[in-house]
Amino acid sequence: MTVTPPAELRAEELRVRIGGATLLDAVSLAFAPGRITGLLGPNGAGKTTLLRAVAGLTRPSAGRVLLDGEDLHALTARRRARRVAFMEQQADTRLSLPVRQVIELGRTPYRSRWPVPMDSAADAHERSVFADAVAAADVGHLLDRAWPTLSGGERQRVQLARALVQEPGVLLLDEPTNHLDLRHQLGFLGAVRGLGVTTVAALHDLELAAAYCDEVAVLLDGRLVAHGPSSDVLTSPTIAHVYGVDVTVERHPRHDRPHIRWNGLLPEGTSP
C-alpha cells in the first residue's frame, strides 16, 4: 500500500512527572526510520507513558521529541495527526457506528469544511487510501458490522485500519496484539512489518518482539535499560534483571533470531 515516507523520530532526555511521580526519567531514544522498535519492560516500566509523549498526547516535564528535526509538541494537533498515528491499547466508544465509519474517522485531519466532489482526484485518493488500509488490516468482511458487536481482536484490527488511513510516517502501537489469537498476532505484526513505516510497539511477548522487531528498547522504572538489535539486547542477564525470570536464550532454527525459553522465576533480590 502507498504510505507516507517513514519519518525520523527521536526522544531527547525525555522526563515525565505526573502528580509528583517520575514516570520517565531522562530517556533518550532514536527510532530508526522505516523499522520496527519494540518497547519492552514489566508493567509500570513507562512504555505507555513514552508512547503518549512521542505521540504528542503527554507533554514532557523536560526534554523534547523531534519529528524529522521538528519539535513535535510545537506542531498543531492537525499536523501531528497527519504524520503520527497512535493506536491505543484499549479503544472504546459507546456510539453504534458501522466499522466503515470508524475507519473513516482516521481521515479527519485531511478533511476540509467542504465536501470532496465525487469522481475527483481527491476522492479517488480517499478511496484508494481506505481500500489499502482495509486490506492491510484484513477487515474488509467487517465493514458493515456495528462497532459494539466486534470482539476485542476484531477491534484491534479495525483500529489498525483507522491508523493507516492517516497515512502516517510514524505508527505507535500500545499492546497491539493484546486481544488477538495467535494466528492474528502473527498476521498483524507481519502486516505492520510490511508497511515500511517507522513503528514503535509496546509489547509484553518477548518471542514476538524477537521475531518481528528490528530493534528493542527495554524500560524499567521509567529508565532506559538497553536499546539495540534484538539479538544484542534480549540476553539472559538483561531479562533476569528486568523481569526477574530465569531464561535460556537460543537461536531460532528457522529465522535466526533469539528464541527465549523460560526456566522459572528468580528469587526476589537475586542478581543476574
Q: Tens of pLDDT along 41-62?
A: 999 999 999 999 999 999 999 9
Whether residue 210 is contained in a domain is answered as yes
CA distance 165 to 147: 17
**Quick one: pLDDT at residue 113?**
58
Same domain, 28 and 157: yes
Residue 165 lies in a domain: yes
Instruction: Mark whether 230 and 245 lie in a shared domain.
Output: no
- Both 255 and 225 in a single domain? no
Tell me, yes or no, whether 135 and 254 share the same domain: no
Structural domains counted in the chain: 2
Claim to verify: residue 206 and residue 262 sit in the same structural domain: no
The whole domain housing 101 covers 9-234
> Does one domain contain both 45 and 146?
yes
Do 162 and 175 have their domain in common? Answer: yes
In this predicted structure, the answer to whether residue 272 has a pLDDT above a threshold of 80 is: no
Lowest average pLDDT, out of 196-200, 240-244, 266-270, goes to: 266-270
Q: What are phi and psi of 181, to 5 degrees?
A: -75, 170
- Whether residue 152 is predicted with pLDDT greater than 90 in this model: the reply is no
In a domain, 183, yes or no: yes
Statement: residue 264 has pLDDT above 90:
yes
Distance of CA 188 to the CA centre of its chain: 12
The residue among 214, 181, 182 whose CA lies nearest residue 197 is: 214
Whether 1 is covered by a domain: the verdict is no
Segment 195-200 shows an average pLDDT of 95
Task: Looking at the structure, tell me whether residues 211 and 125 fall in a common domain.
Answer: yes
| Predicted pLDDT of residue 198 | 97
pLDDT at 2 over 70: no
Helix or strand or coil: residue 95?
coil
Q: What is the mean pLDDT of the chain?
A: 91
Long-range contact pairs involving 246-254 (C-beta distance under 8 Å, separation at least 24): 252/210, 252/211
pLDDT tens readout for residues 153-165:
899 999 999 999 9
What's 105's domain CATH number? 3.40.50.300
State the DSSP string of 143-168.
TTSBGGGS-HHHHHHHHHHHHHTT--
**pLDDT at residue number 271:** 59
Strand partners, 228: 216
Query: Are 124 and 243 members of one domain?
Result: no
What span, in angstroms and rounded, lies between the C-alpha atoms of 236 and 233?
9
- pLDDT in the model for residue 161: 95
**How far is the C-alpha of 16 from the C-alpha of 26, rounded, in Å?**
9
- Do 170 and 251 sit in the same domain of this protein? no
pTM recorded for the entire structure: 0.93
Same domain, 138 and 271: no
Q: Is residue 3 part of a domain?
A: no
73 contacts: CB under 8 Å, gap ≥ 6: 56, 59, 60, 64, 65
- pLDDT, position 245: 96
- The whole-number average pLDDT for the span 246-265 is 92
Q: How many percent of the chain have pLDDT more than 90?
A: 79
Burial bucket for residue 121 (CB in 10 Å: 0-12, 13-18, 19+)? exposed
- Residue 4 within any structural domain of the chain: no
**Shared domain check, 117 and 228:** yes
Q: Span 244-272, mean pLDDT?
A: 88
- Indicate the residue type of 24: L
Q: Are strands 223-229 and 9-18 parallel, antiparallel or unpaired?
A: unpaired
DSSP alpha helices (H): ranges in the chain? 47-54, 77-83, 99-104, 121-137, 152-164, 182-193, 206-212, 230-233, 236-243
Is 2 part of any domain? no
